[in-house]
Structure 1
Amino acid sequence: MTEWTNDMAIQRWGTMPRTLLEQMAHDGDFAKRHLINPVLLHMLGDVAGRRVLDAGCGNGYLSRMLAGRGARTVGVEPGQSLFDFAVEQETVAPQGIRYIQADLCALPDLGAPFDAVVASMVLPAIPDWTGAMQACVHALKPGGLFVFTVNHPCFEQLWTAWRDHGEYRTHRYLAEYEIPGPSGANFHRTLSTYLNQLTSLGCHLTEIAEPGLAPDVASDGPDGIDAYVHLPNFLIVAARRAT
């Protein structure tokens, strides 16, 4: 496995083409639209008037959704093309979102502590993910809510396996490994690794979700997407910082 650093990952993700960013500008991709966003927003609850950090905000779609629900939103993104696109959207249609270009492991002063921090599909892409999770938790006020989403460690690459075999197949789980992708690499880590790190930071779990795709949605989707009806491809975790 390549000895990845945060800088290497940032440079790779920061070259995502504009055409792809535009396709995901409104509410993300298919999986985010149908599986992640509804659960994540439900866990966050009423964000009106609350100070929310979108950690690793990417093209800013979630920041814009949160701002549209009345949140006072700060988005942090280190990747150049992603950050530039997010800032451009705020310039074109201002929602009061403050975007900051920074590595989550080296956050500048973001002002007052946040009521909530969300890190959606971010931690699997960060080599120093423990530093990033620590920064997210430390940015919260006592009792503040941390919500993160990751590829489900038990069912990664579900779509391609199901499309090729009609079932999910895997041959390793306990070791960390790299999952190459067209825009950047993700990294497999076990379920217990994520949850034990979370509790070591003084957080207590409030909810865990493994969303499945509605059959009627799957019927209109691409070949192999019916795998998401039967097995969860994503894990969504909500926890609160100790008071």
Structure 2
Amino acid sequence: MTTPPTNDAAIAQWNRIPREVLEAMEPDGDFAKRHLVNPVLLRMLGDVRGRRILDAGCGHGYFSRLLADRGARVTGVEPTDTMFGYAQEKERALGQGIRYVQADLTRLPALGDPFDAVVCSMVLPAIPDWKPALRACVQALRPGGLFVFSVNHPAFEMLLTTWREHGDYRLHRYLEEYPIPQLRATDFHRPLSAYLNELAALGCRLREIAEPGLDPRTAREAQDTTPGIESYVHLPNFLIAAAERP
């Protein structure tokens, strides 16, 4: 019998990420975050000045720092020693007033007053037992607060890989949940309905879903170093949603 994956095992995988990889993602994440994910997250959040925001699963803290630069009062939660330590180190150097807390999202400690907004970017697909994490994000909000999350688009998760191999996109499994081994850790495929139905079960009101595509000019500039990047012009590799807590 195969042992089910655990959150602790997933955290252990991510804890092995090399420091040079984190440094390479300064100051605004990798290529996809910079061009596809960040602009949508920031637009959905709107004016964050003076707002109390939780960056749930903040990793090495780059998005927390982007929010603090825009005037938000940020708390970042991260379970891994490696990325939590890096985020703290950056805060000591920059003094942005970000509070970092080391914790598993499924076992959040008390974080003070409810938040105006919670961001959970590219985190839920990395968590085997993800529903308690999503529930904790929603419960951390004040009534009417905004929950914004991004995931690999469930219909186009392996977009770049299959496009490079076939010149188009091919998908053979969608409806069930299954692990997707990645370079550094394992992600988990779930159909879009799993995320949206869980939001509905928590009473959230969906405000927007975005499926960002890459600007053709940006794709042309990157095609020599990233073969197949034109696939991001035609199909969405990411899905970003905004919902309100009742």
Aligned to 2:148: 147
- RMSD, matched Cα: 0.8
- 1:227 paired with 2:231, answer yes
- 1:192 paired with 2:196, answer no
Q: What are the Cα deviations for residues 121-179 of structure 1, in whole angstroms up to 9, with x where unaligned?
A: 00000011100000000000000000000000001110011011110011111110101
Matches within 5 A, 1:52-67: 52-67=53-68
SS in 2 for 1:150: strand
Aligned to 1:241: 245
Matches within 5 A, 1:63-142: 63-142=64-143
* 8 A Cα contact 1:15 1:80, kept in partner: no
- 1:31 paired with 2:32, answer yes
Distance of 1:219 and 1:82 partners within structure 2 = 33
* 8 A Cα contact 1:25 1:59, kept in partner: no
Deviation at 1:24, TM superposition (A): 0.7
Aligned to 1:160: 161
Whichever residue aligns with residue 98 of structure 2, its letter is I
* 8 A Cα contact 1:153 1:188, kept in partner: yes
Structure 1, gaps ≥5 residues long: none
Structure 2, gaps ≥5 residues long: none
Distance of 1:58 and 1:105 partners within structure 2 = 15
Deviation at 1:25, TM superposition (A): 2.4
Aligned to 2:52: 51
Aligned to 2:41: 40
Distance of 2:82 and 2:162 partners within structure 1 = 31
Whichever residue aligns with residue 93 of structure 1, its letter is L
Deviation at 1:2, TM superposition (A): 5.4
Whichever residue aligns with residue 235 of structure 2, its letter is L
* 8 A Cα contact 1:102 1:108, kept in partner: yes
Percent identity over the alignment?
Answer: 65
Whichever residue aligns with residue 93 of structure 2, its letter is V
Aligned to 2:5: 4
Q: What are the Cα deviations for residues 92-122 of structure 1, in whole angstroms up to 9, with x where unaligned?
A: 1110000000000101110000000000000
Q: What are the Cα deviations for residues 8-42 of structure 1, in whole angstroms up to 9, with x where unaligned?
A: 10111111100000011210011000000000100
Aligned to 1:210: 211
SS in 2 for 1:65: helix
Whichever residue aligns with residue 178 of structure 1, its letter is P
SS in 2 for 1:73: strand
Distance of 2:116 and 2:123 partners within structure 1 = 19
Distance of 1:217 and 1:162 partners within structure 2 = 18
Deviation at 1:54, TM superposition (A): 0.1
Matches within 5 A, 1:16-27: 16-27=17-28
Distance of 2:19 and 2:217 partners within structure 1 = 31
Moved more, 55-64 or 217-226: 217-226
* 8 A Cα contact 1:76 1:104, kept in partner: yes
